[in-house]
A and B are shown apart, each in its own frame.
Chain A
Amino acid sequence: MTNRAAAFPPNWPARLGLLALAGYAVFATAQLDITWTRLGHGMGEGARFLARMFPPNFARWELLLEGMLESLQIAVLASALGILLSLPLGLMAARNLSPWFVAAPTRGFIALCRSLHYVIVAIVFVKAIGFGVLAGVAALTIASMGFIAKLFAEAIEEISMKQVEAVRATGAPPASVLIYAVLPQVASRFVGFCLYQLDSNLRNSTLVGIVGAGGIGGTLFAAFKRFDYDFVCAILLAIIALIFAAEVISGRIRAAMR
């Protein structure tokens, strides 16, 4: 009776871990120079900021609409290009279909596309092809390639090889093997990735304008710099509405496909 273990013994490793985490938080807070006075001051500034944001000012709706349409165009073009380029890349990166000397470099290229943030890629493209929409399209195409091609390659690696072998056994050329044995197994997942990427391209296309790559982001950044906070609020509301609408539509499409 006396040496029965407690039902819920204290978990000392977890407690120590939590303590270490709290210690790190205090240390990092000090390193980043975040103090209570600063936070208190920030609260006051935040209240002033919010007060100046309301009511949102839709007087310059033409500028707003133009920027939003441009963002939409960037998203559509970048998604289309990204999807087209990801198809061969994904096939080349799948280790069960391509030899290793093709798959390994393709995987490296895809990882490179994924690892740099799209805003940084946009900066490089703004330098290379000048300010404007094209830089945004190029940057988001790179990002889309990194995402879709990686997931597509992983999906292909999970397919059942029986069907591939069956089609190969009939003496079909490689193109037919792809069309009749590989693609039917991954098509629905591929469409899912594409929809997801279209969604996230739409979000990101509202941002690349901050570095001069076209879209509503440029208008937003200019409004911030000019302290037009009521216009900023209008732009933010428009962006949230657009993203929300896109999420609802893609949710519907996904439900319809099932």
Chain B
Amino acid sequence: MSPALAREWRRFTPAQRLGRWGVWLAMVAACAWAARSIDIIPEFLADAPEQMMDLLVRMWPPNLAHYYPTVHGALVETLHIATLGTILSFGLALPVALLAARNVCRNRALNTLAQLVLVASRSVNSLVWALIFVAVFGPGPAAGTFAIAFRSVGFVGKLLAEAMEEAAPGPLEALRATGAPWASVMLKALWPQVQPAFWGVALFRWDINVRESAVLGLVGAGGIGVVLDDAINFFHWDRVATVLLAVLAVVVVAEVVVTRIRARLL
């Protein structure tokens, strides 16, 4: 056999193999560190199945009489918070997105500033925004609406800015060449190109906001979370089950509605 045939072929170079082993080692080491230093109380773990069964028994059957009017009213409030928060977030995100898109706003410093605003909005979780707005507006749906809006600005603004940057420059230049004012260029050249992405983002974010607004009440920001929190604090587990079923139903319906509309729009 010639030496070329006897040679053993390997997929990766030694350096690559070393790198791959390093990554695996780092992953295992991270898990081992986390598992070792985390304090797990063995007694709690031992009776977990028992406690879980106990919880399910207490939840069954769900107290459906609790649904109307308490849960129903809170559910409608949650939907209002999610929808109004989404609308408000688009109002806030549009100017920031215009500033962040490099082909619309030519000023580098303003681009960076807008990006920073978007990152800050995204890094703070909606529950933390809710805590902040409860401190500002007091408990109630107003705090929830603003929390949803401020959390969504980062997400919506980022995606809108990306959509604007992908827009073809031809129509913009053509309209500018006719001497059209800035607002007309935006409305007639940029908007038609951004529109599909805009509706997609709006639907997607509304769906997320419906989920998120369901928990805002835990920190006092209105919606169904308040009812849930009350039921848990009073150990009314059958009522908790009703609330959870209601939330589940709304989330599933919202997802189905969004998928249907998207399929028709896109």
Least CB separation from B250: chain A residue:
A115
Which residues of chain A have C-beta atoms less than 8 A from B244's C-beta? 116, 120
- Check: B185 CB closer than 8 A to any chain A CB: no
Query: Would you call B51 and A77 a contact (CB within 8 A)?
Result: no
Query: Would you call A49 and B136 a contact (CB within 8 A)?
Result: yes
Q: Given the known A-B contacts A120-B214, A120-B244, are A115 and B251 also in contact in the complex, defined by CB atoms under 8 Å?
A: yes
> In terms of DSSP, what is the predominant structure of the interface of chain B?
helix
Which residues of chain B have C-beta atoms less than 8 A from A206's C-beta? 125
- Count, chain B residues at interface, CB 8 A: 56
- Count, chain A residues at interface, CB 8 A: 56
Which residues, 26 to 49 on A, are CB-close (under 8 Å) to B? 28-29, 31-34, 38-39, 42, 45-46, 49
Which residues of chain B have C-beta atoms less than 8 A from A204's C-beta? 125
Chain B 43-84, CB within 8 Å of chain A: the 1/0 string?
011001001100100000000000000000000010011011
Smallest beta-carbon distance A122→chain B, Å = 10
Least CB separation from B140: chain A residue:
A33
- In the complex, identify which listed stretch (B2-10, B28-36, B97-105) lies at the interface while the others stay far away: B28-36
Query: Would you call B125 and A130 a contact (CB within 8 A)?
Result: no
- In the complex, identify which listed stretch (A90-98, A158-166, A167-175, A239-247) lies at the interface while the others stay far away: A239-247
Query: Would you call A28 and B142 a contact (CB within 8 A)?
Result: no
- Check: A220 CB closer than 8 A to any chain B CB: yes
Smallest beta-carbon distance A256→chain B, Å = 10
Query: Would you call B128 and A207 a contact (CB within 8 A)?
Result: yes
- Check: A123 CB closer than 8 A to any chain B CB: yes
Query: Would you call B135 and A49 a contact (CB within 8 A)?
Result: yes
Query: Complex formed: what's the CA distance from A112 to B247 in Å?
Result: 12
Least CB separation from B145: chain A residue:
A32
Q: Given the known A-B contacts A29-B84, A45-B136, A120-B247, are A239 and B142 also in contact in the complex, defined by CB atoms under 8 Å?
A: no
- Check: B120 CB closer than 8 A to any chain A CB: yes
Query: Complex formed: what's the CA distance from A127 to B47 in Å?
Result: 12
Which B residues are within 8 Å of any A CB, using their own CB?
27, 30-31, 33-35, 37-41, 44-45, 48, 51-52, 55, 77, 80-81, 83-84, 87, 119-120, 123-125, 127-128, 131-132, 135-138, 140-142, 145, 188, 211-212, 214-215, 218-219, 222, 228, 232, 244, 247-248, 251-252, 255
